Each structure stands twice: as structure tokens, then as C-alpha cells.
Chain A
């Protein structure tokens, strides 16, 4: 199995010169308005992040980012062309202009942000490598995993992170390596290991494939940083701002308690923060060439960050991922959006 990340970097770095030429193209906002839809690159299927539902509509937290951008720019959250991309071609698709927003569980790293001619606009989901253990083992923290046998998928950075973590904490472990995530969960199910490790968002998806999901739990410890966020091309700052503030608007809406349901009542709100957010007090979309109701459209059509999280990966979804570090800053998490004013 080849390491997809390396291949992606190789393919993208090789095409860098061409990519930087391709970035100097026309106004993405204008193109999008002319085109009537936002062209959005998503994963070709990742539970909770982007996958087609029974009716063929894309669902997921990554998908909602693109819907939010469409709501802000075009006033219609459904005006999105979703283009499924795999890990290798995702950056090229963005560089070559096949998509205008890449919202595909992409980890924000220095290399990607600085050498590919791309910009990360923010973090939609703070992911990180975690552990799943059987409940009856009575383990509550990763520190107690000394000597454990751990199921792991080969060829991923997960393997490296795990070795680093155990060495740093002076603990022993016995890795049991599988090729695919299905085999990994099969190995855990069959009792070949005590612990299964992967990114926490993946763990949640693996857990519900177990025969008895309730018998296993995901530890709250996270041993690596995997901030996932949307990406745009470098060189079009207006578009960069639009994508960045679309997400910020959703996070701010959660903070101020504006939801898709009460957005209309909130138009009358006395709270100056809400009035500014919903475009009742000044036009804060002006700097992005948007209408004053840009954020109102996002919130009324897509919902705030909490709604999106809950519906796609949180307690309202089969994945049941806790908010954890993805809670708001005033609730013990990292999600923090600059104020609208």
C-alpha cells in the first residue's frame, strides 16, 4: 500500500510552477455568480464529513461548509456542484480550477499551506488520533495502555504517531497491523487486540460497525493534531475571505444562540452582536462584495455550527462524537470566531 499523503504531495509539488500560473486567474466570486453554483470538492465518501444519503444528496460537516458559502454568495444553499475527489487529486483539482473550494477533511499543515499555492481558511473540525477500548477493560486514560496490543492500519501517519507517543511516555505496545479499516475493525472485533487506534472521527465510524457498539468506548485522550478545514486557491483574497467568514458566521451564530429555526425572530433582536451578524446594523458583507444578509442566509438555510456538527457527526447522528475540543471557546473547546463588527 502506498502512502497517499506522500503521493499527493509529490503530484502537487511537481506541478507547482504550473499551479501558480493557474492561480492567477479570474475573479472566483464573479465566476461563481455567473455560473450560478459553487464548485465544491468533497471526499468520495467519509462518514459524517461527506457522503450521499439515500436520496443522493450530499450530507456532512464538510458539505455544510460549501452549502454555507453558496448561501452567502448566491443566497441559495443548494446551489452547489459537489465534485468528489480522492486524496491524491484533491489539490490539483483546486489548483487547476476544477473546484473553487476544497472541503475534504484535509489536515492543515505547513507544507500544504505554504508550498502548494493554496490557503486554509479555518478549522471545521479539530481531529486527532485517539483510542477505542473495550469498556470492561476499565481503562479510562491513554496512560494506562502500557503493554497493550493495538490494532492499527498500515501506511498511515497513525502508525508513526503511535510509536512516538509510546516512546515519549516510556511505555511498551504490541502493534497489530492491518491493511484496510474494515480489516482493522474485524481484528478488534475478533479480540486480536485490546485497543484500536485511528483519528477520533474515524473511530466513531468504526465503533458503530462493531456487533455491540456499546461495549466499546473512545478515550478522551488525543495524541496528535489533525485540524481539518476548507482550502482555497492563493491569490484571490476576496474568495478566501468569503469562505473564511462563512465558517466564522456559523460559529458566531452558535455563540449568540442564533439557529436556523429562530433566525427570523432574531432579526428583531436588540443584541448588537446579533444585529450585526444578521445584517440589521450595517453591512458587513460589503468588504467581501456580498449582500448584507449573507450571514442570515447561511444561518437560516444551513444552520449554525452546533446544528451542523450535531446533525452530521454529533449526538444527532449515528456517529455520536462528543463536542470535546470542538466546543466553543467559552465552553472549553477551541472553536473561536473573530467578532463581526
Chain B
């Protein structure tokens, strides 16, 4: 009998089964049909990507001040360049940009503080963001106090306005939504009926209709001395509309929490608000993150609808710029720029929500 006590020396895996070539073979070229589709896909990609790069980068014009600086073979980024500050600040007077910049910087600072886990005093920061920051932002942007010249709201615009609408909408819609969702599950008939009617009314009407009502009809019902600013009208409409959607997302999360949790808490002698605040909501909110972020992203994009009531959000100001007779015919560049900015914001929100889900994942995932 032949005994070989030594194990055979370890050999590297066969060349064909590791590395990029093996990956290609395994995933893209395993069989004639798949190979064919891979080649076809590559060809389609080639047809799409090459002209796009050619248009957007190689043939594009980047520097200049007027349409004459554009060859019109490729993209004319000169247009976006010349209008850049307008796309960011709208028709805000340029000598007052610093005020908007301070607000932007504070806003970014607050977001960063909230998002980076290591930083302390989150609770104080939240209070500051919700109670103090809006006042500072209003005083700075609107002016009229501390010798700051007044800038009326119809000069606000661009990305600044988009962010303002989206932030106010989100910050306003979440608490109202929570209250409505709890109200809809309440056993008190009047509270429940009110919440159901509110939610179903606002959810049953398109956002465009609400904005039109707010901008076209509402002024006619109000006495003429009482002229509510159109931005405020849009903000209220947007917030109430979103809170109805938010309420349903939150109600969905609440229903996913087993009834036993609530009952167990009640058995411990907790009051309604303690049960909701300490037991049900923390579990529910965690599960609702995808739904809430989804609502936020759709709200962020819905803000473009304010264009129809004559507010110049990012998309609106791009369109207004396109109507300048010295810049006619650069609509693609303008829209590509707007789409890019929107994508950056929506994608960041989406990534952050995924991170948050991983961080808060405490055993609900299979």
C-alpha cells in the first residue's frame, strides 16, 4: 500500500477560471446567444455614448460671453457659464449674493453636522436648525432688518428657491404627516374623520391644481389688503400636499409594527405619547426610511411645478434664460444642466438613505 502523508502542494486556480477574463467568459460570453447579445449591447452603447461625449465634451465650447463664441457643432456651455449665477440665485440682485451665500454655507454646515455621525450635540443642532436657522435665513434672504435692503420674494429663484421649497416642504411635511398618520389610526372618531378627510382631499387633487388654486383663485377670495406672498402660498400648498402623502407612508410603517408591541408597552403603564414616542415610532420610522426618502425625492422634483405659477425655480430660470433673444436655441444645454443638478441632489439623498438603513439595521432584515 502506498501512503502519501503529505498533502499535495496548493496550486493556483486554472488560468481560465479567475481574473477578468474568466469573469467576462462567465458573465458575458457563456454561450453563443449571450455572446451575441453582449456584442449587440456594446454596439448600442457605442452608438449612444460616442456622440454624447463628442457633443458634450470634445466639440463643446466652454469659454466666451455670447452666442457668437459657440460653433454650434457641439454643446455650448458658454450659455450655462454666462447664466450660472442666475441659475443658482435667480434674479436676486448680484450685490446681495453674499447673503444667499451665508445661508447656503449654514445650510450645508447643518446638513454635514447631521450626517456625519462623529459630531456631538446633534440634539442642539437639530433645535438650532429648526428654530434659529429659519429666522436667520429669512432675515438674511428677505432683508428689511439691520439695514439690509429688502429683496422681495419674486426676485428669489434658481437653485436657491428649489432648495428652499424642498427643505421647507420636507421639514414641514414630516411632523404634519406623523400627526395625520397617528390621527388616522386613532380611536377618536372626530380626530380620525378629520385626518381621513384631510389626507384623502389633498391626495385626491393633483399638485398642479393646488398650486393653481393657491396662485389664481386664492387671491380673489382674500380681501385686497391681505395680499399673501405668492411664495408663501406655494409653500403652504406644497407642504400640505406632501404631508398627506407622508401620512400614508408613515401609516404603512405603523401598520407593520406588531400590535403586541403597543399592547406590551400599555401593559407597562406607558401613556399614549410614551408608547408612540418610545416604542412604536422608533421601530416604524426605521422601516419607513425608503418610503420617506422616496417621498422627499419626489417632492424635490415636484418643486419644478412652481414654474407654472410664475416662480423661477431652477428649471424655471433655465427656461426664462432660454427666452433671452441673445441666447435662443440652447435649450438642450440648459435642460442638461438642470437635469444634472437635480440628479446630483436626488442621488445624494438616495445614497444617504441607503447608508442610514444599513446603520439602523437592527435585525429586521432577513
Contacts and interface: CB of A to CB of B under 8 A. Distances in A.
Interface residues of A, number: 42
Interface in A19-68: 19, 22, 25, 44-48, 51-56, 59
B230 A98 contact: yes
Nearest to A90: B310
Nearest to B329: A209
A281 B82 CA distance: 47
A76 to B, nearest CB: 15
Contacts of B317: 52
Interface in B46-87: 67, 72, 82-83, 86
Contact of A46 (B215, B323, B326): B323
B224 A319 contact: no
B312 A84 contact: yes
Given A44-B312, A47-B323, A86-B308, A81 B82 contact: no
Contacts of B308: 86, 88
Given A52-B321, A209-B329, A97 B227 contact: yes
A193 interface: no
A54 B220 contact: no
Interface stretch (B89-97, B118-126, B136-144, B260-268): B89-97
Interface string A69-107: 000000000000111111011001101111000000000
A157 interface: no
The dominant DSSP class at the B interface is: helix
B323 A208 contact: no
The dominant DSSP class at the A interface is: loop
A53 B324 contact: yes
Contacts of B309: 86, 89
A205 B328 contact: yes
A55 B220 contact: no
Given A52-B91, A56-B91, A83-B154, A45 B320 contact: yes
B312 A92 contact: no
A205 B222 CA distance: 39
B224 A318 contact: no
B212 interface: yes
Contacts of A89: 212, 215-216, 309-310
Contacts of A55: 94
A92 B86 contact: no
A238 interface: no
A138 B72 CA distance: 28
Interface in A308-327: 312-313, 317-319
B252 interface: no
Given A22-B224, A56-B86, A319-B325, A96 B94 contact: no
A209 B331 CA distance: 10
Interface of B: 67, 72, 82-83, 86, 90-94, 152, 154, 212, 215-217, 219-222, 224, 227, 230, 307-310, 312, 316-317, 319-326, 328-329, 331
18 contacts: A11-B217, A19-B220, A44-B307, A44-B319, A44-B320, A46-B323, A52-B321, A54-B86, A56-B86, A56-B90, A84-B312, A86-B310, A88-B216, A89-B212, A89-B310, A97-B219, A205-B325, A318-B325
Given A55-B94, A82-B154, A205-B328, 12 more contacts: A11-B217, A15-B220, A44-B319, A45-B323, A47-B324, A56-B92, A84-B310, A89-B215, A92-B216, A92-B217, A182-B331, A319-B325
Interface of A: 11, 15, 18-19, 22, 25, 44-48, 51-56, 59, 81-86, 88-89, 92-93, 95-98, 182, 205, 208-209, 211, 312-313, 317-319
